[in-house]
Amino acid sequence: MPDGLLDPIHSPADLRGMSAEDLVRLAREIRTLITKTVAARGGHLASNLGVVDLTLALHRAFDFSRDHLIWDVGHQCYAHKILTGRKAGFANLRTAGGASGFPNPAESPYDLFRTGHAGTSLSTALGLALAEKAAGSGVRTVAVIGDGALGAGMALEAINHAGEVGGDLLIILNDNQMAIGPTVGGLARYLTRMRTTAAYGNLKQDVHEVLDKLPLGEPLARAIHAFKNTLKEAVIPDHVFERWGLRCFGPVDGHHIGDLMEAIEEMKRLTVPRLLHVHTRKGCGFAPAAEEPAAWHSAKPFTECNGQVVRESESDEQLTWTYAAVSELLDHAKSDERIVAITAAMPDGTGLLRFGHRYPDRFFDVGICEQHGVAMAAGLARGGRRPVVAIYSTFLQRAYDQLFHEVALQGLPVVVLIDRAGLVGADGPTHQGLYDIAYLRHLPGFTLAAPADRHELAGMMDLALAATGPWAIRYPRDRVPPADFSTQPVEVGRAAVLRRGKAGAILGLGSVVAAAMAAAETLAAEGLDLTVASARFAKPVDGPCVASLVAEHPWVLVLEDHTAPGGFGSAVLEAAAERGLDTRKIHRVAVPDEFIEHDTRGAQLAAAGLTAEKIVERVRTLCGKA
């Protein structure tokens, strides 16, 4: 076949007649398409390039229009999307109306779950396998999980259970020795040892098992021969998960399509929970990503010219809330040796890498284990340390019970830095940080703050690190305003009035205050003078401030970069109702109660009515000037 192998492929069925050599060439074409698309749109590059061969081998071996395929996290599903009829939408990856960066059943029947969080695949896959077992359907279930996600508690819970209940579940362990950065923990070290220590086993038992499951009439000798030839050196009787009841095979070179296809075909002979250990390299096929897989995990758009790669400027990194928060933390860590910092596999994203470099002995990367990270922070606090845990809002959801049970219930001084709180842009609904106010503000004793500017952030960090109980500071994936709005000292539960007017009042929480101030400027020029206050705290809410805003203005507009139900606006309404205020005067602008699709953060904010322009329109309406 000439090049252009990808053009006629519209579904996995089109792979059927292709030779291993053609698949190798096809893999190259898919890698080129992925690289070009991510160059234009941004996205998860290194992980996707690493699984192209594996994706082809899986789609070649199984019929996933019938069998089930689950990708853990789902950030590595680009080749799968391209092969399952989504080439056209892929060109607009992660942009409004284009393919999302993660699996999505609304896009294709080949995606069974909408995912983006790590460690969930084995549980959902086991559920599917058990359902098919109960139905006696003969449908197989395959889950692909990385060595990073495998360390997540939930994945281990599923393996623990799978060994006991059975089901036709094939787990592909995609081992590239990396999560976003190098995989951490004892399991990772164990898998690395497996690379070098070949542990060949007692084939007899395995062959018997295979034969037990073979269809009647299959020639015995052929089956034994085929099995011995392909998996002879692959059975791993000493594998830790063998002891847990999984049959374990491998390792197989995940970039040798022929070997992969053979091994996967063999795996199809078994109908018990089994694991095939596959070695891949992140970034395979694109040198910059292969050399620096962490930097190319989630890539910004880039251009390639004469072999030179120019990435979209990272120079704004120092202007972000993430950078500012870690800078404030570092200032404190200098003088307070009790401060320790914890990340759950996101040292880069949370900015804590800087802390780790400066204070390696006071820095912990716990892996993709948010629950453990938060509970460990509680232990550190109980032991006299000042733990600061930085986790994205969406992933902190994992640790809700630890925030309740290990932190709040004990009243321990753990500081949680909630990064990516609010609308997140291109990652879409799996990653939106829209629920943290709702899931924290009902926990007794928690203080929940959100800065509008650098001055407030600094004041909040001072208070948080001096507190005797739990604290959280939420901030978005955005830039810090270039100038502070006030110098009023930050006090727990106190809002700050930034400007005064009579036409109406805006009470904003956190970064939306900047939009409110810009809107107030525009409206002042139209003769509408507004009061604008920075709420600073979602808990405790400044009740007296709410009371005076309601008393002194015809209306109060409450803004938050968070979902409406249970958010800051809800808290303000509760505070107003408790004080017997006229709640009809309070209007809310928050993210609506629906899942917000991938788009730019700016477009998502505008759709929610949280940009300066939208606030201006809303105020004109409230003032009867629309």
Ligand X SMILES: Cc1ncc(C[n+]2csc(CCOP(=O)(O)OP(=O)(O)O)c2C)c(N)n1
Closer by beta carbon to ligand X, 59 or else 386: 59
List Cα–Cα distances, 30 to 5, 22, 411, 480, in angstroms: 9, 12, 52, 39
Please, what is the minimum distance in Å from the beta carbon of residue 151 to ligand X?
A: 8
Q: Binding to ligand X by residue 345, rule CB under 6 A?
A: yes
Q: Binding to ligand X by residue 75, rule CB under 6 A?
A: yes
List Cα–Cα distances, 449 to 234, 306, 498, 511, in angstroms: 54, 48, 17, 11
List Cα–Cα distances, 579 to 334, 398, 551, 573, in angstroms: 44, 35, 12, 10
Q: Which residues pair with 474 in a beta bridge?
A: 418
CA distance 200 to 55: 27
Q: Binding to ligand X by residue 178, rule CB under 6 A?
A: yes
Q: Binding to ligand X by residue 80, rule CB under 6 A?
A: no
Q: Binding to ligand X by residue 463, rule CB under 6 A?
A: no
Q: Which stretch binds ligand X (CB under 6 A): 71-79, 97-105, 234-242, 416-424?
A: 71-79
Catalytic: 398?
yes
For residues 437 and 566, is the Cβ–Cβ distance under 8 A?
yes
Contact pattern for ligand X over residues 229 through 268, marking x by CB under 6 A: ----------------------------------------
Closest C-alpha among 436, 441, 433, 429 to residue 594: 429
Q: Interhelix angle for 20-41 vs 52-61, to 10°? A: 130
List Cα–Cα distances, 333 to 345, 392, 592, in angstroms: 21, 21, 39
Q: Binding to ligand X by residue 179, rule CB under 6 A?
A: yes
Of the candidate residues 147, 453, 456, 542, the single one contacting ligand X (CB under 6 A): 147
User: For residue 554, what are its two tokens?
Assistant: 């015809």
For residues 182 and 143, is the Cβ–Cβ distance under 8 A?
no
Of the candidate residues 39, 82, 143, 180, the single one contacting ligand X (CB under 6 A): 180
Closer by beta carbon to ligand X, 124 or else 176: 176
Identify the three-state secondary structure at position 507.
strand
DSSP state of 576: H
Of the candidate residues 55, 124, 176, 611, the single one contacting ligand X (CB under 6 A): 176
CA distance 79 to 66: 19
Q: Binding to ligand X by residue 353, rule CB under 6 A?
A: no
Identify the burial level of 223 via C-beta atoms within 10 angstroms of its C-beta, where 0-12 means exposed, 13-18 middle and 19 or more buried. Answer: middle
Of the candidate residues 398, 474, 553, 585, the single one contacting ligand X (CB under 6 A): 398
Closer by beta carbon to ligand X, 372 or else 553: 372
Closer by beta carbon to ligand X, 231 or else 295: 295
Alpha helices per DSSP H over 8-50: 20-41, 45-50
Of the candidate residues 6, 30, 70, 73, the single one contacting ligand X (CB under 6 A): 73
CA distance 561 to 508: 9
Please, what is the minimum distance in Å from the beta carbon of residue 181 to ligand X?
A: 9
Please, what is the minimum distance in Å from the beta carbon of residue 1 to ligand X?
A: 30
Contact pattern for ligand X over residues 109 through 128, marking x by CB under 6 A: -------xxx----------
Could you tell me how many residues of this chain bind ligand X (CB under 6 A)?
25
Catalytic residue among 41, 133, 398, 477: 398
Catalytic: 204?
no
One-character DSSP codes across 469-496:
S-EEEE--SSBPPSS-S--PPP-TT--E
Contact pattern for ligand X over residues 281 through 320, marking x by CB under 6 A: -x--------------------------------------
Q: Which stretch binds ligand X (CB under 6 A): 13-21, 68-76, 463-471, 568-576?
A: 68-76
Please, what is the minimum distance in Å from the beta carbon of residue 366 to ligand X?
A: 11
Please, what is the minimum distance in Å from the beta carbon of residue 155 to ligand X?
A: 9
Q: Binding to ligand X by residue 508, rule CB under 6 A?
A: no
User: For residue 29, what are its two tokens?
Assistant: 């074409």
For residues 51 and 142, is the Cβ–Cβ distance under 8 A?
no
Residue type, 160: N
Q: Binding to ligand X by residue 132, rule CB under 6 A?
A: no
CA distance 95 to 321: 24
Q: Which stretch binds ligand X (CB under 6 A): 7-15, 102-110, 164-172, 342-350?
A: 342-350
Closest C-alpha among 229, 212, 240 to residue 266: 229
**Who contacts 538 (Cβ-Cβ below 8 Å, separation ≥6)?**
437, 440, 441, 448, 449, 450, 474, 509, 560, 567, 568, 571
Catalytic residue among 281, 282, 585, 618: 282
**Who contacts 274 (Cβ-Cβ below 8 Å, separation ≥6)?**
169, 170, 171, 246, 247, 248, 249, 267
Q: Binding to ligand X by residue 395, rule CB under 6 A?
A: yes
Q: Closest-CB residue for ligand X?
A: 146
Closer by beta carbon to ligand X, 282 or else 386: 282
Q: Which residues pair with 589 in a beta bridge?
A: 559
Catalytic residue among 132, 242, 262, 370: 370
Please, what is the minimum distance in Å from the beta carbon of residue 178 to ligand X?
A: 5
For residues 378 and 402, is the Cβ–Cβ distance under 8 A?
yes
Please, what is the minimum distance in Å from the beta carbon of residue 318 to ligand X?
A: 23
Sign of CA dihedral 57, 267, 172, 253: negative
Q: Which stretch binds ligand X (CB under 6 A): 16-24, 85-93, 147-155, 217-225?
A: 147-155
Contact pattern for ligand X over residues 426 through 455, marking x by CB under 6 A: ------------------------------
Q: Which stretch binds ligand X (CB under 6 A): 177-185, 315-323, 378-386, 507-515?
A: 177-185
Identify the three-state secondary structure at position 363.
strand
Please, what is the minimum distance in Å from the beta carbon of residue 580 to ligand X?
A: 43
Q: Binding to ligand X by residue 393, rule CB under 6 A?
A: no
Q: Which stretch binds ligand X (CB under 6 A): 172-180, 311-319, 413-421, 480-488?
A: 172-180
List Cα–Cα distances, 611 to 112, 312, 482, 615, in angstroms: 35, 25, 17, 6
Please, what is the minimum distance in Å from the beta carbon of residue 397 to ligand X?
A: 8
Please, what is the minimum distance in Å from the beta carbon of residue 280 to ligand X?
A: 8
Catalytic residue ranges: 282, 370, 398
Q: Contact positions toward ligand X, by CB under 6 A?
A: 47, 72-73, 75-76, 116-118, 146-149, 174, 176, 178-180, 282, 344-346, 368, 370, 395, 398
